[in-house]
Amino acid sequence: MRGKQPISVEENKRERVLLVSLIHDSSKRHRALYRFEELEGLVKTAGGEVFEKVLQIKDKVDPSYYIGKGKAEEIKRLVEAYGIDTVLFDTELTPAQQKNLEDLIKAKIIDRNVLIMDIFALHARTREAKIQVELAQLKYRLPRLTGFGIELSRLGGGIGTRGPGEKKLEVEKRRIKERIQRLEKELKEIEKHIKVQSKRRKNVFKIALVGYTNAGKSTLMNTLARENLKVADSYFSTLDATTRKFFLDTQKEVVLSDTVGFIEDLPPYLVASFRSTLKVATDADLLLHVVDTSRPGVEERIRIVEKTLSDIECEDKPRIIVFNKIDLVLEETVLLRLKDRYQNSVLLSAVTGEGVEELKTEIRDIIADISS
């Protein structure tokens, strides 16, 4: 089924993406800009590149176009000028808005939720996770299936409504519904039977990186693994190398895995697929919880991550909190307070390398502890 594929790259060309956000008054501007940053990170992970961003301030959502029609026309011009493939809206569009925008702008229109599902699909490793993600995608798609048939038959039939249109659409809808039923049944079976089976190879020590999107997980992974791959190539590192070996001069081989990042304001219907995708963490011997220390709300985000980890039965797993991006934090007292408050934490910059040695020492200590 289409839609399961990442919004990705063909022939090495990154998909060119334009971001659109609507806020109701300018006091929300700061937040919108932060969301742009988050989305940009997600777009990269999904194999795209953001070329333009459009922010509209407007007190009401337009029922037909979400943004104002004039703005939509402006976007159409940008799409033509920059050769944009995809316009990404920071919201959940209604089926009608999506269709109208597509007709007007003549580019692929997606919303934040489609992008998120795409990234979950990239990270889904277990059968359970794959089913959860596909279920979310199918349920999202079902009300959005439109076809010639339906629209024209509303206008009373006649020329152009004959032929396979409506029938095909009905068949497609039925097919999707049947698939949803089948997957839900399979999921129940899986949930009944599987306790996460961790096949531990004796001499391999598994570390998983967890944390919010943009916290710096990929950057840290590359720093630790001394890989020269650019972080910007996250499309490849996500698909083929979410797992890297690295060397710590211990008896054991250490493998480091990236996990799907936490996302702010995750829509409730995506929570199940997020959690099942994150469950690869339950297979690890140690978690590195990476936190972007340069942004406000550090402790709140830590709490949410910790809560979710206990929901997927990781609460007893050894972990290190990595306070990352300290090169951006000017107030040393803030850092020292954090370090003090959280046991097993290190202050670090994945970019400058500060703190990396200390992290390695911590990891070695934990490996020694566990092995003894």
Ligand X SMILES: Nc1nc2c(ncn2[C@@H]2O[C@H](COP(=O)(O)OP(=O)(O)O)[C@@H](O)[C@H]2O)c(=O)[nH]1
Q: Which of residues 301-340 bind ligand X (CB under 6 A)?
A: 324-325, 327-328
User: Closer CB to ligand X, residue 56 or residue 219?
Assistant: 219
Over the window 198 to 217, marking each residue x when it contacts Mg ion by CB under 5 A and - when it does not, the resulting string is: -------------------x
Contact between 219 and Mg ion per CB under 5 A: no
Cα–Cα distance, 307 to 211 (Å, whole number): 12
How many other CB atoms are there within 10 angstroms of residue 291's CB atom?
24
Q: Contact, 267 vs 92, CB < 8 A?
A: yes
Structure tokens at 73: 């026309």
- Element holding 84 (H helix, E strand): none
Identity (one letter) of the amino acid at 170? E
List the single partner that 97 binds among ligand X, Mg ion, none, CB under 5 to 8 Å by kind.
none
Smallest distance from Mg ion to CB 93, Å: 26
Q: Contact, 76 vs 104, CB < 8 A?
A: yes
CA distances from 103 to 52, 85, 151, 243 (A): 20, 14, 14, 41
Binds ligand X (CB under 6 A): choice among 35, 217, 279, 289: 217
Cα–Cα distance, 305 to 309 (Å, whole number): 6
User: Closer CB to ligand X, residue 36 or residue 140?
Assistant: 36
Contact between 132 and ligand X per CB under 6 A: no
List the single partner that 14 binds among ligand X, Mg ion, none, CB under 5 to 8 Å by kind.
none
Over the window 339 to 368, marking each residue x when it contacts ligand X by CB under 6 A and - when it does not, the resulting string is: ----------xxx-----------------
Residue with tokens 């096949």: 199
- Sort residue 93 into left (φ over 0), alpha (ψ -120 to 50) or beta: beta
Cα–Cα distance, 348 to 78 (Å, whole number): 40
Structure tokens at 131: 């089913």
Contact between 216 and ligand X per CB under 6 A: yes
How many other CB atoms are there within 10 angstroms of residue 117's CB atom?
24
Contact between 218 and Mg ion per CB under 5 A: yes
Site size toward ligand X (CB under 6 A) is 17
Q: What b/e sequence results for 301-310 when a residue is b if at least 16 CB atoms lie within 10 Å of its CB, and e otherwise?
A: bbeebbebbe
Smallest distance from ligand X to CB 7, Å: 17
Over the window 27 to 46, marking each residue x when it contacts ligand X by CB under 6 A and - when it does not, the resulting string is: --------------x-----
Identity (one letter) of the amino acid at 196? V
User: Closer CB to ligand X, residue 109 or residue 220?
Assistant: 220
Smallest distance from ligand X to CB 131, Å: 25
Contact between 214 and ligand X per CB under 6 A: yes
Site size toward Mg ion (CB under 5 A) is 2
Contact between 150 and ligand X per CB under 6 A: no
Smallest distance from ligand X to CB 270, Å: 17
Residues near ligand X (CB under 6 A) are 41, 213-219, 231, 261, 324-325, 327-328, 349-351
